[in-house]
Amino acid sequence: MPKVCFAPIWYPLEQYATSRLRAKSAVELLRDDLRWEVELDYSDDADIAVIVQLCSDRNLEEICRNRDQMVVYDICDRYFSSDAIFRTDEGVLHARDRCLEVIERADVLIVPTRQLKVELNKLFPAKPCLYLPELVDYGALPSPARPAASRRLVWFGHPTRGNFESARWMIDHLSSVHGYQPVLVTTPATIRHRYPAYADSCTAWSIDAIRLELAAAALCVVAHSPAEPFKSANRFTTAMIQGVPTLTSGSPACDDILEAAGHPLFSVCTTSDVDRALECLADSGRRRDYVADVQREIWLRHAPEVVRRAYVELFEWVLPDRDNY
């Protein structure tokens, strides 16, 4: 039986969305598939190594030494063009340099959005690049539309890389003009340091906190900065699957889902767009339709069986003669 290992770089796995979704959850999803042996963390005897996001010094050394191993590089961020520096247990890691080193070694690249696939095809035409969807986060299952009564507005995620900055205009407009109470599920210390005016709205991130706040929310906002146009729609899909009507901004991946579901109105660029979206959501029937239609589209793309099948097809493509292993 051929063996596949998933090697994320960030631990604890549950605290990092990429490690959680594209390593830990992927392994759990595939464990019952009797055609493939899967495990977490790098293994030198694996037939396929899936390197997730970035790669430690030790794992880079291993995959470069182990030339018979097929390497799939899961590129979730545009680190190939980033000057970001990370401090790890092994020392300082320069994101762009490491990303390019792994791309050079990789046999196949995989990405969570079709938009990122297009960019990588242009930059690295010699490397096969495949789109592979990710699961809806936090193990969420489709839930009915949350009522509008609570007036609680939830934003969640890490406050850096433009995630929060790009959403501020929506949060400010919804709270000052429409009376929503913002709840930011994030890292309070970072918000207090960078955006002290929002400190009282913070709740420390945890999986339980996300679930509780989404269960209580009447509305969610998700925005991506102009510098991050190819990020996945995972926060949008998570909120919508849990029944929270969500406004998005600056996200081609979210726009793709909204267009396919017939609800482009909820991709907003201006405060007037926000006002029109809220007018629609004030009608209970249209609110239910928005959530149900988008959930249906999300499930067609990101349901567990869809994602499991995508990984199996990837592995079969990488190891077409797997029966000889």
Mind listing the pLDDT tens digit for each residue in 111-139?
999 999 999 999 999 999 999 999 999 98
Cβ 52 vs Cβ 25: under 8 Å? no
51 strand-pairing partners: 7, 73
Tokens coding 209: 């906190």
pLDDT, tens digit, for every residue of 208-229? 999 999 999 999 999 998 888 8
What share of the chain in percent tops pLDDT 90? 83
pLDDT, tens digit, for every residue of 140-174? 899 999 999 899 999 999 887 778 999 999 999 99
Cβ 70 vs Cβ 48: under 8 Å? yes
pLDDT, tens digit, for every residue of 67-102? 999 999 999 888 888 888 888 888 888 999 999 999
Of 270, 248, 274, which is closest to residue 259 (Cα–Cα)?
Answer: 248
Residue ranges and CATH numbers for the domains of the chain are 3-136+303-324 (3.40.50), 138-301 (3.40.50.2000)
